[in-house]
A = this chain, B = another copy of it.
Amino acid sequence: MALIVQKYGGTSVGSIEKIKKVAERVTQYCERGNRLIVVLSAMAGQTDSLISLAKEITETPDPRELDVLMASGEQVSVSLFAMAAKSMGYDCRSFLGFQAAIYTDHIYGKARIRQVDTKRILRELEKNKIVAVAGFQGIDERNNITTLGRGGSDTTAVALAAALKADLCEIFTDVEGVFSADPNICTHARKLDQISYEEMLELASLGAKVLEIRSIEFAKKFNVPLHVRSSFTKSEGTMVVAENREMEKILVSGVVSDKNEARITIVKVPDRPGIAFKIFDPVFEAEIVVDMIVQNTSAEGLTDLTFTVTKTDFQKTLTLINKIAKEIGAEKVLGDQDIAKVSIVGLGMRNHAGVASKMFETLARENINISMISTSEIKISCIIEEKYTELAVRALHEAFGLGNEKEKN
């Protein structure tokens, strides 16, 4: 008998029929003698329609009240699920954030879980009940409702699995697992049987949308085995686990691309101490998230400084940087939205030389120019022209032999 936390995303509970299907699947697990905690997102579309209600009231809704509003979405799906399970003859009980005692800080809209008091959930599990928990929501120390941000239900599931010392945390989603590349780009992309937390973290932050980053951090910290799989098929997905010897043999686990970035270059910046602070402090103040930053070695006391931001923040950043460039006496500012980031991720990079040069060689062979490079212990990212994105992903996928048998033949 295992204690299993399962999380079903918005598309998995997107209609009454689908909620019933989820209930059926959950009860099959119970039949096999497992104890189940089921975390649910709001029904697909619900979150967006609640947001537009709020926007009809005001363009800048109060964050506390927005969280109260948003939390109602999971309240609907979790109660409907519990009704469905009960109507199938299984005892089931729903828990909202305050009932499951999921305590967070008080940063509305992106609260962080501080503590989960599992007493009440354990009491229901002991009575052989299925416990259904509203994902994405918690309460702060003053009983205010908080939400964990987009994808927060993943974090709820992992936090519960950690607190309950569950044997497994299964994330049911609309894809079959983690792939060596986006199957929409690479027809021969292979579903990975397992991947390490570290690699998954890199993939998620580089653009893979299958898991929310904070949930992976949580899983890594508390060593919660994650199983990412499809809610529409029975096939096994991908296990996200602590790294093991087998994994280290693999040079590259996956290729991932991200078209959501834009590049800004400040040309001929006077190179003196404190200049980076002068440039980026106002950017961070404006809550703009900067991804890559590259500064060339200085020549004649002048340097070029390039960085990337999301396309959404591009215009806002450009306006701000133009102002700053004048103040610091830089020559000019260039902006480019037609870029993409292509990355390879793999634990094996740590111990194997030549991975980077193989990446550069592969891109060169396809006549793809690299305009920025950024590396970490287990990933290499290159900024290229946007139009080459798919070509680059396919070429790298093949060069590192990531495909399935069909491709290899």
Q: Within residues 56 to 112 of chain A, which ones have a CB less than 8 A from any CB in chain B?
A: 56-58, 60-62, 64-66, 68-69, 71-72, 75-76, 78-80, 82-84, 86-87, 93-94, 96, 98-99
Chain B minimum-CB-distance residue to A88: B58
* Cβ of A64 to closest chain B Cβ, rounded Å: 7
Q: Mark A141-160, 1 if CB is under 8 A from B, else 0.
A: 00111000000000000000
Q: Is there an interface contact between B66 and A83, defined as CB atoms closer than 8 Å?
A: yes
Q: Is A54 in contact with chain B by the CB < 8 A criterion?
A: yes
Copies in the complex: 2
User: How many Å lie between the Cα of A72 and that of B19 in the bound state?
Assistant: 18
Q: Is A53 in contact with chain B by the CB < 8 A criterion?
A: yes
Q: Which of B64, B69, B80 contacts A80 (CB 8 A)?
A: B69
Q: Within residues 324 to 358 of chain A, which ones have a CB less than 8 A from any CB in chain B?
A: none
Q: Which of B60, B87, B94, B145 contacts A60 (CB 8 A)?
A: B87
- Residues of chain B within 8 A of A71, CB atoms compared: 75
Whether A69 contacts B65 in the complex (CB less than 8 A), given A57-B16, A84-B58, comes out as: no
Chain B minimum-CB-distance residue to A132: B65
Q: Which of B66, B78, B84 contacts A57 (CB 8 A)?
A: B84
- Residues of chain B within 8 A of A79, CB atoms compared: 54, 65-66, 68-69, 72
* Cβ of A100 to closest chain B Cβ, rounded Å: 10
Q: Is there an interface contact between A83 and B61, defined as CB atoms closer than 8 Å?
A: yes
Q: Is there an interface contact between B57 and A19, defined as CB atoms closer than 8 Å?
A: yes
Please report whether the interface of chain A is mostly helix, strand, loop or mixed according to DSSP: helix
- Residues of chain B within 8 A of A69, CB atoms compared: 75-76, 79-80, 83
User: How many Å lie between the Cα of A94 and that of B69 in the bound state?
Assistant: 10
Interface size class of A (residues with CB under 8 A): 35 or more
Q: Which of B53, B68, B143 contacts A94 (CB 8 A)?
A: B68
Q: Is there an interface contact between A87 and B75, defined as CB atoms closer than 8 Å?
A: no
Chain B minimum-CB-distance residue to A67: B79
Q: Is there an interface contact between B78 and A96, defined as CB atoms closer than 8 Å?
A: no
Q: Which of A19, A76, A93, A143 has the most CB of B within 10 A?
A: A76
Q: Is there an interface contact between B65 and A50, defined as CB atoms closer than 8 Å?
A: no
User: How many Å lie between the Cα of A203 and that of B346 in the bound state?
Assistant: 76
Q: Is A229 in contact with chain B by the CB < 8 A criterion?
A: no
Chain B minimum-CB-distance residue to A143: B99
Q: Which of B58, B75, B145 contacts A83 (CB 8 A)?
A: B58
User: How many Å lie between the Cα of A58 and that of B87 in the bound state?
Assistant: 7
Q: Within residues 17 to 70 of chain A, which ones have a CB less than 8 A from any CB in chain B?
A: 19-20, 50, 53-54, 56-58, 60-62, 64-66, 68-69
Q: Which of B16, B75, B86, B145 contacts A53 (CB 8 A)?
A: B16
- Residues of chain B within 8 A of A99, CB atoms compared: 143-144
Chain B minimum-CB-distance residue to A56: B16
Q: Is there an interface contact between A86 and B62, defined as CB atoms closer than 8 Å?
A: yes
- Residues of chain B within 8 A of A72, CB atoms compared: 72, 75-76, 79
* Cβ of A124 to closest chain B Cβ, rounded Å: 11
- In the complex, besides A53-B76, A58-B86, A60-B87, 7 extra interface pairs with C-beta distance below 8 angstroms are A54-B79, A57-B80, A58-B83, A61-B87, A64-B82, A68-B82, A99-B143
